[in-house]
Amino acid sequence: MGATPCTDGITIEFGCQIRVELKDGSLESILKAFCKILPEILRDFIQKIVVGFGESAMAQSRKPFCCDECGNDKEFIWKTRHGKETKILTVFQWLRLEQLQVQCKRCGHKMYITRKLLGMERMKRIPPETYRKLGLVGSLTTYRVAKKIVSMFGWTVDKMTIWKSVQKTAAEIDFQLDEKGLPLGEADGTGVGIKGIAKRGKELKVFVQYKSGGGVRVAGLDIGDYNGSWDKLFGKSVKVFRKFSRFLLITDGDTSILDSLKGKIKVLVQRCLWHIPYQAKYVLWQDGVKSKGKEWLEVMSELMEVCAIRPLVDCQKTIEKMIESKRKRLDAVIQHCLSKGYTHTASYLENARLICLRR
């Protein structure tokens, strides 16, 4: 085994001899045996590479690290290449590595450089690559199931480590608009209550942006009141909003969403058509209209026709004519509600009409 410098780094020669006892030659038995010897092979492999890069760094006139005390990055001497053991979690196993220690020739300060070479934070046992992968697995299922899944691949880790990885990964995620995405998005409260929050009336609010290649991406995520508190959701994206000549935002009609953006950016608002008949059920109830009764069905069926989207219609003139027809039908529903004394429903549809059925 050895390490030699090369143009892009170092070249490692690594060899090992492993003695394995197997009861049979089935693939299951072979993989179980491999999982048992993996930590030892991996530890020796990583150790060899770290020592190789350590020696390469020490041979440079200007080191890729500096003294924690005086900032010197040139004059160091070796103290040991096999010092005090440290424990780190790789994507395969927990490993114990012998640390590399150097001493600053200027101030005499001794320090370990193993984590510096591995690209890890000082005193941390779990590198970013590991906790992000654990965080992904832990966010997709329960921690108990996540532990079972990773153990199937020889990864020995407890539920608490998975939980901490999820928390750390989530804290690092920064949601905001992508200036390369489409100037089109949707914002809505999910209605999902948040467990563990002392005050009631909180929900998860989401802002998504449509991608150029299809699909959507999360551009904002926040926990706020059911009514209002959209400022934090859009706060990080205001600068990106301004880079678009205009931005079309689809909402459920919540006026507090518009209030949080008023005066900051130029946004065209399109009310989500699905929400109009969906929320109309509530105002009809306020007006005392019996659910599924004759009057209820008449209003709801008309609203569903007005809000229905016809696919495969790509002629602009046809689309404009359809929108004109839908506006007339919506006006007729509003007049019908006024004649019947359905004041809540009429007022609701008047407000909805202002920001829906745009060309």
Q: 15 with 93, same domain?
A: yes
Can you tell me the distance from the alpha carbon of 131 to that of 166, in angstroms, rounded to the nearest whole number?
8
Q: 327 with 248, same domain?
A: no
- Residue-wise pLDDT for 122-179, tens only, equals 888 888 888 888 888 888 888 888 888 888 776 778 888 888 888 888 777 777 888 8
Q: 108 with 58, same domain?
A: yes
Structurally, how many domains does the chain consist of? 4
Q: 138 with 233, same domain?
A: no
Distance set, CA 113 to CA 51, 66, 95, 98 (Å): 10, 10, 17, 11
- What is the band of 1 on the pLDDT scale with cuts at 50, 70, 90? very low
153: helix, strand or coil: coil
Q: 265 with 284, same domain?
A: no
Q: Which two tokens stand for residue 181?
A: 């995405």
Q: 346 with 331, same domain?
A: yes
Q: What angle do CA 183, 203, 224 make, to 5 degrees?
A: 70
Please report the pLDDT score of residue 276 as a whole number: 84
Q: What is the dihedral of CA 329, 332, 338, 340, to 10 degrees?
A: -100
27-31, 225-229, 230-234: segment of lowest average pLDDT: 225-229
- Residue-wise pLDDT for 286-309, tens only, equals 999 999 999 999 999 999 998 887
Q: What pTM value is reported for the model?
A: 0.51
Q: 168 with 260, same domain?
A: no
Boundary-marking domain end, from 231, 251, 272: 272
- Crossing angle of helices 343-354 and 275-286, rounded to 10°: 160
Q: 179 with 266, same domain?
A: yes
Boundary-marking domain end, from 272, 294, 329: 272
Q: 250 with 329, same domain?
A: no
Q: 105 with 11, same domain?
A: yes
Please report the pLDDT score of residue 278 as a whole number: 85
Counts of helices then strands in the chain (DSSP H, E) = 12, 12
- Residue-wise pLDDT for 84-135, tens only, equals 999 988 877 788 999 999 999 999 999 999 999 998 888 888 888 888 888 8
- Residue-wise pLDDT for 33-69, tens only, equals 887 888 888 889 999 999 999 999 999 999 999 999 9
Q: 32 with 56, same domain?
A: yes
Provide Rg for the chain, Cα atoms.
31
Please report the pLDDT score of residue 54 as a whole number: 93
Please report, rounded to a whole number, the percentage of residues in the chain having pLDDT higher than 90: 30
Is 224:160 a contact under the CB 8 Å cutoff?
no
Can you tell me the distance from the alpha carbon of 220 to that of 177, in angstroms, rounded to the nearest whole number?
8
Q: What angle do CA 47, 52, 58 make, to 5 degrees?
A: 125
Q: Which two tokens stand for residue 296?
A: 């209820």
Distance set, CA 320 to CA 35, 123, 267, 323, 357 (Å): 65, 64, 22, 5, 10
Q: Which two tokens stand for residue 207?
A: 């802002």
* CB-neighbour burial class of residue 15 (10 A; exposed 0-12, middle 13-18, buried 19+): exposed
Q: What angle do CA 189, 195, 196 make, to 5 degrees?
A: 130
Boundary-marking domain end, from 255, 272, 289: 272
Q: Look at residue 359 and tell me whether its pLDDT is greater than 50.
A: no
User: Domain range spanning residue 152?
Assistant: 129-172
Please report the pLDDT score of residue 354 as a whole number: 65
Q: Which has the higher per-residue pLDDT, 337 or 11?
A: 337
Q: What DSSP letter does each residue of 323-335 carry, written as one string? A: HHHHHHHHHHHHH
Q: 11 with 117, same domain?
A: yes
Q: Look at residue 14 and tell me whether its pLDDT is greater than 80.
A: yes
Is 83:100 a contact under the CB 8 Å cutoff?
yes
- Residue-wise pLDDT for 315-332, tens only, equals 888 888 888 898 899 999
Please report the pLDDT score of residue 166 as a whole number: 85
